[in-house]
A and B are shown apart, each in its own frame.
Chain A
Amino acid sequence: MTHSLGLVGRSKLGLKLAGSFLVLVIILAMLAMFSIIESQRAMIDSVGTDSMHTAEFTAHALDVAIYQKYHELWSTGYDEQVQYFISTSNSEYDAMSDPQEYMDLIDSDWTDTPFDERTPFMEGIVANNVSVHLTETLTEHYLEEHGLSIYSRVALVNKYGAIISMTERTADFRQDDKVWWSQVVESGHYFGDAEVDPVTGTLGIRVCAKLIDPVGAFSGVIMAFLDLIAMAENSVYFVETYETTETHIVSSDGRLLFSNGVFQILEDVSHEDYYVGVTESSGYFIGYENDRERLFAYSHSLGYLRYDGGDWIIVVNHETSEVFADVRALTWKIVAVSVTSIGAAVVASGYFAVSLSRRIRVIAAAAGRFSVGDFGSSIESRSSDEIGELARSLNNMAGELQLLYGGLESKVQERTKELEQATKKLHLLGSITRHDALNQVTVILGWLEVIGETVDDKGTQERLKKIKEASLNLLKYMHFTGIYERVGTKRPEWIELGNAVSQSLFGLGPREFELRNVLSGVHVYGDLMLPKVFRNLADNSIAHGGEITSVSFTWREVPDGLLIVYEDDGVGIPGDMKEKIFGRIPKTGRKSLGLYLSREILSITGISIAETGEQGKGARFEMHVPEDHYRIGEAAPPAKEESETV
């Protein structure tokens, strides 16, 4: 795996491909997640709006129910039996000398009696026909028919404010001192806020309807305490949108009036999110209840007809985990698919990148071989894609180049052959001419010798000596040309230097110096005349080094190649002569062109030579062989012909 990843890492194309795949998949995943988020937001709006409408409907249903109970109460107040009873009571009180005193007396006794007790007077009121009628018509009717105690208690009050009928005892007898009394007498109706009935302990709403007699005069009030919890149970919209749907009714000051779960009446919920989050007449928001996130929708009570509405808020809420269950499940699926896709994309792109890179590298390697003229290896191509086409094109190109080079090579060979023939002819001509010339010079030298023996004149002797020297020089030059003529005429070869030194010094003459040769195993690519260089160096040491006791041929590798070092322990070469000794026209007083010839021989294959010795300590010649023109030890194996499949 590391090798494969390493391959991808080394493959810029592979990295680009893998990165592109990854970016694409990540973008798609982000797009999917964005869609999910937006869907969730849209769902919040949709469910929130729908729940808000449910809250509004529930608030309206409760308001309508309260008003309907008021109307029913009012209607009951106009039953013939009730109208007769209240008329009779009013007449009785009209006949009293001081009905207020009477009422005070009764009221005092009434209020002194504990709520859970009834005096005979109270029992008489509860048992009268109208009380029984109210009980059967209102309180027991809803209880028996619907199982709901809608009317907690009902009472009938005459125009003086005295209780004359009741289904349950009231807190007191006199009613005309109450706030609601003055309001109902003035406006004809009264709707109270949620309060706890001190008598029954019921959380309810007081509703009152003004009664008038046939002539339009005020005759009394029929009053009821509606059980708010029973009203809410009857009005709460029980179509469960969700399994976790709950409905709360909260007073404007943060008291819980109703919940379809378990609750305590008038529990302080002013700190709860579902109260704090209420800011408008209706709306929705996300909040928390019991550490669980819920969607809350709410609506205020807005009233109905004469009923202005209660001072409370209807809150409908559901757990967001249920509302968004499908969305969240989809989110997880998308995450899973995205992660899997990313993983698969990485694997696929890596595999593709490695495969593609390998094929490109093979083609690049082949192109490299073609560039150096190796057209022997072809790129085997089995694919029909662009890479395959490129490989086939390269093969075709190589074939064409090979044909072209082949043609060129044959021409070059032909020209080389012609050149060789011409050179051969020139060489032969030169050789013959040089031979003839040498013979003539030899004749000249011979006759000079003869003439010298026959002439006694010193001046003539001097002149003959100079002619002899000139002839010897001519002989030397002709000998030099013969040697120089051979330089570069044949292709350089790999020359083992150890043997070259030994062979070149063969026949050097009596040697009274030690020879150290450590060039064994060193191969240098050079002209076939290379051994001549070594011979020339040795000759120069003998000729010009004075008394030498040792010469050495050594080597060492340097950063840019190989140094072959020749040293002797002779007199050395003066500093100003170090370069002149290599000149073509000797100005050194020495009459040899050997070093010039040596430099020329070495230069054929790029080998340089320089004298780096110290005068007085011996001559030191350093021959620098370029980096790829030498081998140490065994020769490197020849390169194989390769065939690569792409």
Chain B
Amino acid sequence: MDDDKSAVHGDGNRSAAALERSRPTAPRRRRWIALVIAAISIIAVLSSAILLAPSYDTVTIAVILPFEDEAFSHSTEIESAMTMAIDELNKWGGIGNVRIELTVEETPVTPEAVSTLFERLENEHSPVAYVTVSCGLLSALSPLAEAASVPLIGMASATGLTEGYEWVYRYYTTVESEVASTIDILQSLEVSSLGILYTGSPHGCGINDFMVEEFYAVGGTTDSQMCGLEETDFTAEVANLSHTEAIYVVSSCEFIVDMISTVHASGYTGHLLTASCGSSPNMYDLLDAEVVYVSAPPLYKLENQLASAFIERYESIYASPLTHHGAVAYDLVYLVHGLLEGHEVSREALGYHLSQGFVFSGVMGSLRIDPGVNDFEFPVYPAMVSEGMLSYL
């Protein structure tokens, strides 16, 4: 028998059965289905941005700083300025779609500690470049960087630190510039006898030695008083310089204030001068004297639009004053970026381009570096701090 034939009822109502089979699902089930479809659509759209987002390689710049108690108080500023530069560059792809990362470490300035830290950074990050501050750290790191063939750039004033090294660079002012600017001030003040109050650090000793030589060359006389690195009472040394027409205070930023205060408190009536440290904005209100003559980089010139805009931008983000220490660190990041942009992003390529000479315009001014030159210098100019303000002479 063939069961396919539709049953014929007494009233012939075969179509109702077909309709019964095609009756749609319950409304509640349909609503759930619609909600699931809508949710899947939204999730697909939102996740597509994540899924389609490009992935990036990264390159690291390592910064090695002395511990805070090692008389260097610009660590935070340097890290902030470099972070600001890196954020600005990474916002638009970094170095050719390679993101820049910053790693900051602090260490005692001893060969063993420095070596251990360097080895760890090499193993963990293999940085494209190292940045450091102070003559002591630069000296300790130089042989390590040279052996590892990785660029090391130090923010230190002593020029001889890069001699004999291919991979070691220095970007800061120089003893010669500091002394030249100071002598300009002394000559304009018609000073013939100069007292030099300095700490026994390489920086202090270097400036003292050069100042003695140069001031003598222009017909002046000097009397130097060296203070110990841990010394805090400078009364005796100041008393020994009371006979001079001007006292030139040379030390790290932390001790300059105390030294100048001691000189002022002693009743000294001659001129007070100090090195570029004294030109930092955070020093203006601390310098306890009517007038202090300083050697200042062009960063603080009001007509320097680029620098002024940079300082304003930094201070709006970090709510703290910017000094030339932070500005140099900021420029170093842009220098690395500029040298590697469009080229292979590696320490070897960076070392190569550093050695070929370049021109770089940063917030600290223009750098014109000839091939083979490892010392980058920013100029300083005679200026004075008075009533909490800096003005160029």
Contact = CB atoms under 8 A, between A and B. Distances in A.
Interface in B244-270: none
A495 to B, nearest CB: 15
A480 interface: no
A354 B30 contact: yes
B11 A372 contact: yes
Interface residues of B, number: 62
Contacts of A230: 366
Given A4-B30, A339-B44, A557 B24 contact: no
**Interface SS of chain B:** mixed
A358 B34 contact: no
Given A4-B25, A336-B49, A365-B19, 7 more contacts: A147-B304, A262-B339, A290-B341, A354-B24, A369-B16, A631-B8, A639-B16
Contacts of A201: 370
Nearest to B393: A144
A262 B24 contact: no
Interface string B345-369: 0000000000011111100011010
Contacts of B342: 289-291
Given A292-B96, A340-B41, A365 B16 contact: yes
B290 interface: no
A369 B18 CA distance: 13
Interface stretch (B85-93, B110-118, B202-210): B85-93
A264 B341 contact: no
A639 B9 contact: yes
A243 B356 contact: no
19 contacts: A1-B33, A144-B381, A147-B379, A201-B370, A258-B359, A264-B357, A290-B96, A292-B93, A332-B49, A339-B44, A343-B40, A344-B38, A344-B41, A358-B23, A557-B2, A628-B8, A636-B10, A638-B9, A638-B11
Nearest to B27: A355
Contacts, number: 150
Contacts of B335: 262
A10 B22 contact: yes
Contacts of A447: none
Nearest to B39: A343
Contacts of B338: 261-263
Given A146-B303, A147-B301, A147-B381, A264 B22 contact: no
Q: Which 7 A-B pairs have the closest CB atoms?
A: A262-B338, A343-B41, A147-B298, A290-B342, A628-B8, A639-B13, A365-B19
Contact of B359 (A240, A264, A347, A628): A264
B46 interface: yes
A140 to B, nearest CB: 10
A505 to B, nearest CB: 26
B336 to A, nearest CB: 9
Contacts of A263: 338, 358-359
A636 B359 contact: no
Contact of B34 (A258, A347, A557): A347
A153 to B, nearest CB: 15
A229 B92 contact: no
B42 interface: yes
B4 to A, nearest CB: 11
A575 interface: no
B12 interface: yes
A238 B305 contact: yes
Contacts of A233: 361, 366
Contact of A336 (B9, B13, B45, B309): B45
Contacts of B147: none
Contacts of B16: 365, 368-369, 639, 642
Interface string A246-265: 00000000000011111111
A316 to B, nearest CB: 15
B341 A261 contact: yes
A319 interface: yes
Contacts of A291: 96-97, 342
A129 to B, nearest CB: 18
Nearest to B304: A147
A346 interface: yes
Contact of A262 (B11, B97, B359, B370): B359
Contacts of A368: 15-16
B120 to A, nearest CB: 30
A342 B381 CA distance: 67
Nearest to A242: B92
Contacts of B88: 243
Contacts of B5: 627
Contact of B46 (A146, A289, A336, A355): A336
B37 interface: yes
A321 B298 contact: no
Interface string A4-35: 10010010000000000000000000000000
Contacts of A147: 298, 301, 304, 365, 379, 381
A234 to B, nearest CB: 10
